[in-house]
């Protein structure tokens, strides 16, 4: 089975970090270096159909968690701390429930175990409308994307995935065709009876609506040993919007 691509930093207790939808391992490099300095072996992982990892028509949280199991088997990791953001948080939750013996601790950034209706369609539409036959630079791609996505920060996040497919053509590293067809899968809940009893930390942004007070009973049902902390002055991309507090809170949990 194909192996997920990763960037490995430092030595020590393994910490596996999973990016969100349309993200990549590079998004976590700054925080990854900080964790590595604290005695952790940090694995920044590209999930399938993202970054430099393989493309596949099969895409759901069961196969994403199996990918992570194969990754740990390859590197002979007996157990690891798992941290995931958004879509990566769903993968992390599913993995911990499916492979609790391999999961030392679980950190979930701004996502609950519930179903989320598809809500990225405007972004997908903007990406699908890019004409790479007419685009020869990052700025030209940004110009076309701006007519569909007004938020500069979101556009820059997406454009980090640009690369030269060949010397004349740009493209995205993520598998846009499959991801656009699997929008329902992105929002899926974890299994209704899945449970992980190990130490778990949920982190949410104070300006984000992804984890609400109404989600707490379901979180506690799936993760009885979970605690919840709120990162100030942050929305859904809490690790990028307030990295200092995110790092401090997550590291305190990892070291507890």
Q: List, by residue number, the catalytic residues.
A: 86, 236
Report yes or no: 65 and 94 within 8 Å, Cβ to Cβ. yes
Q: φ and ψ at 204, to 5 degrees? A: -130, 150
Provide the edge-to-edge strand list for the sheet that holds 80-85: 6-9, 40-45, 13-18, 80-85, 103-109, 200-205, 226-231
Report yes or no: 174 and 55 within 8 Å, Cβ to Cβ. no
Report how far apart, in Å, the C-alpha atoms of 138 and of each of 132, 169, 172 are.
Answer: 11, 11, 11
CA-based nearest residue to 46, from 24, 20, 73: 24
- Tally of CB atoms within 10 A around 7: 18
Residue tagged 């196969």 (tokens): 63
Report yes or no: 96 and 202 within 8 Å, Cβ to Cβ. no
Q: How far apart are CA 130 and CA 128, in angstroms?
A: 6
CA-based nearest residue to 80, from 72, 88, 89: 72
54-82 burial string, b = 16+ CB within 10 Å, else e? eeeeebebbbbbbbbeebbeeeebebbbb
């Amino acid at each position: 089975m194909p192996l997920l691509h990763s960037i490995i930093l430092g030595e020590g207790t393994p910490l596996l970090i999973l990016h969100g939808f349309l993200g990549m391992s590079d998004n976590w490099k700054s925080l990854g270096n900080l964790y590595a300095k604290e005695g952790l072996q940090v694995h920044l992982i590209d999930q399938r159909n993202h970054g430099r990892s393989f493309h596949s028509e099969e895409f759901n949280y069961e196969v994403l968690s199996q990918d992570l199991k194969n990754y740990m088997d390859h590197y002979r990791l007996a157990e690891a701390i798992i941290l995931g953001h958004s879509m990566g948080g769903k993968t992390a939750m599913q993995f911990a429930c499916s492979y609790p013996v391999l999961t030392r601790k679980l950190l979930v950034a701004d996502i609950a175990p519930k179903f989320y209706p598809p809500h990225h369609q405007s972004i997908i539409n903007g990406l699908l409308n890019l004409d790479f036959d007419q685009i020869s630079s990052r700025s030209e791609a940004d110009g076309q994307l701006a007519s569909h996505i007004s938020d500069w920060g979101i556009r820059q996040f997406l454009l980090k995935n640009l690369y030269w497919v060949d010397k004349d053509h740009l493209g995205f590293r993520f598998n846009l065709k499959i991801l656009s067809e699997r929008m329902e899968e992105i929002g899926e809940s974890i299994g209704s009876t899945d449970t992980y009893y190990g130490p778990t930390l949920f982190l949410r942004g104070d300006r984000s609506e992804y984890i609400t007070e109404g989600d707490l009973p379901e979180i506690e049902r799936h993760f009885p040993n979970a605690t919840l902390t709120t990162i100030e002055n942050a929305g859904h991309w809490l690790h990028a919007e307030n990295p200092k507090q995110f790092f401090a809170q997550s590291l305190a949990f990892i070291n507890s």
